[in-house]
Amino acid sequence: MTDHLMLSPAVAAAKAAGNPLVALESTIVTHGMPYPANLRTALAVEAAVRDSGAEPATIAVIDGRVRIGLETDELAALAEARDVMKLSRADLAFAVASGRTGSTTVAATMIAARAAGLSVFATGGIGGVHRGGETSLDVSADLEELARTDVIVVSAGAKAILDIGRTLEYLETKGVPVVVYGSDELPAFWSRQSGHAAPLRLDAPAEIARFHKARAALGIAGGMLVANPLDAANAIPRETVEGWIEQALGEAAAKSVAGKAVTPFLLGRIVELSEGRSLEANIALIKANARLAGEIAVALAQD
Ligand code: PSU
Ligand code: MN
C-alpha cells in the first residue's frame, strides 16, 4: 500500500517531527453535505484540528493515489465534483488500481490512516445498522472496520437515521469499545439523547489516550469509538429530529433507494426537511469532534 500512499508536505513534516496528527474523512464533503457548506466545513474542521495543536490530514483518493493531507484547491475540487466514488473497504483498492477519484468513508479512512501511521480520526457520525437492517442486512462496513483496524474514531455517535440499539449490539459483539465523552448517555448525532446508556465514559483526552495505550499494551487489536455529544446550544431535540427521519425513511422506501445511496439520500432530505437546521448541527458537531480528536492526538504524543 505504501507505494500508493502520498503524504502532503505538511503531513510528512509533522510525521517526521513526531507531531500529533488527526485524519479526516472526505465522504462527508462529497456525499454528506451540499456545496458550498461542505467546503466551508472541511476547511473549518482542519482549522479546529490545528487550534488543538495537531496537524489535520484529510484523506481521499485522487487519480488513483491515496492522499493523506489535501491542499485547499484539491479539497475545493472534491467539494464541487459530482461523479466521485464513495469508497469503503470493498472498493478503496479498486479506485487505486483503476486510477479513479473517490472520497473515503469512515471505513476507508481508517484503513488509509492506519497505513500512514495515524491513530486518531475525526468524523461526524459513523455508519451502522440501518433501521430494518435485521431484514435488509444493510449494515455499514464502518462497524467491521472498527472491529479490526487500530484507530480511535471520534464521532457524535452513530447517525440518528440508524438503529442505534442494534448498532451498539454489533459493536459489543465485535469487542469495539464505545466511550462517551463527558456524558452517561450515548449521543445520537444531531441530538444529545439516544435513550441508550454510555457503555463506557471518560472525561478527559488524556484518559482516552491512556485507555488506547492500555489496549495496545494488552495486544488487543481493533479500533475504539469515541462519542462526543454536541453542545446543548447546537443540538436538536430527539423528538424534533425523529419526525424528519421518519419522513425521509418513508420517501427512501417509496423510491427504492438502496446500497450506498441510502445514507446520502437520508442526510440530504433531512437538510431540506429541517430547512438547514440539521446541516448547522452537523457542521457544529464535526468541528467539535475535530477539536477533541486533536486534543486526544496531543495527549497520545505526550509521555
Ligand atoms: N458523518 C457525517 N456525514 C457523513 C458521514 C459521516 O456527518 O456523510 C459518512 C461517513 O463517511 C460514513 C458514511 O462512513 O457516511 C456511512 O455510509 P454508509 O451508511 O453507506 O456505510
Ligand atoms: Mn449501507
- Would you tell me how many other CB atoms lie within 10 Å of the CB of residue 209? 23
**232 phi-psi bin (left φ>0, alpha ψ -120 to 50, beta other):** alpha
How close is the Cα of 116 to the center of ligand 1, in Å? 21
Take atom 16 of ligand 1 and give the residue whose Cα is closest.
127
Positive or negative torsion for Cα 263, 188, 175, 225: positive
For range 279-303, the mean pLDDT: 96
Residue 61, pLDDT > 60, answer yes
Q: How far apart are CA 103 and CA 88, in angstroms?
A: 9
> What is the per-residue pLDDT for 178?
98
Domain residues for the domain of 63 are 2-301
CA distance 6 to 127: 26
Among all bound ligands, the one having the nearest atom to the CA of 259 is 2
CATH number, domain of 18, equals 3.40.1790.10
Ligand nearest to the CA of 30: 1
Taking residues 99-108, report their average pLDDT: 98
Smallest CA separation from ligand 1 atom 10, residue: 105
Q: Are 162 and 126 in contact (CB under 8 A)?
A: no
Cα 258 to averaged position of ligand 2 atoms, centre (Å): 8
User: Would you say the C-alpha torsion 49, 53, 59, 62 has a positive or negative sign?
Assistant: positive
DSSP string, 115-155: HTT--EEE-S-B--BBTTHHHH--B-HHHHHHHHS--EEEE
Is 174 known to be catalytic? no
Beta carbons of 289 and 155 less than 8 angstroms apart: yes
pLDDT in tens, 142-163: 999 999 999 999 999 999 999 9
Closest CA to 84 of 233, 270, 264: 264
Q: How many domains does the chain have?
A: 1
Output the average pLDDT for the chain. Answer: 97
Task: State in Å: Cα 213 to ligand 2 middle.
Answer: 32
Cα(122)–Cα(235) distance, integer angstroms: 18
242 is catalytic: no
Where do runs of H (alpha helix) occur along the chain? Answer: 9-17, 27, 37-51, 72-80, 92-97, 106-115, 133-136, 141-148, 164-173, 205-217, 238-254, 262-273, 277-301
Residue 4 pLDDT level (bands cut at 50, 70, 90): confident
CA nearest 126: which of 228, 241, 248? Answer: 228
Kindly report the pTM of this predicted structure. Answer: 0.97
Q: Residue 84 above 60 pLDDT?
A: yes
| Total number of residues shown for the chain | 303
Does the pLDDT at position 1 exceed 90?
no
Q: What confidence category does residue 47 fall into, taking pLDDT thresholds of 50, 70 and 90?
A: very high
Residue 155's beta-bridge partner residues? Answer: 227
- Percent of the chain at pLDDT > 90 equals 98
Q: Would you place residue 56 in the very low, low, confident or very high pLDDT band (cuts 50, 70, 90)?
A: very high
Query: Which residue of 86, 87, 106 sits with most ligand 1 atoms within 8 Å of its CB, as the best mutation to test the pocket?
Result: 106
**Pocket around ligand 1: residues whose beta carbon is below 6 Å from it?**
25, 27-28, 31-32, 105-106, 123-125, 127, 140-142, 260, 263, 267, 282, 286
Question: From residue 194, how far is each of 165, 167, 190 by CA, in Å?
Answer: 9, 12, 10
Q: What percent of the chain has pLDDT over 70?
A: 99
Q: How confident is the model at residue 303 (pLDDT cuts 50, 70, 90)?
A: low
Q: How far is CA 236 from CA 173, 187, 219, 259, in A?
A: 30, 11, 39, 27
Alpha helices (runs of H) in 255-276, residue ranges in sequence order? 262-273
* pLDDT tens track for 262-289: 999 999 999 999 999 999 999 999 999 9
* pLDDT at position 2: 56
Catalytic residue (choose from 159, 260, 287, 295) = 159
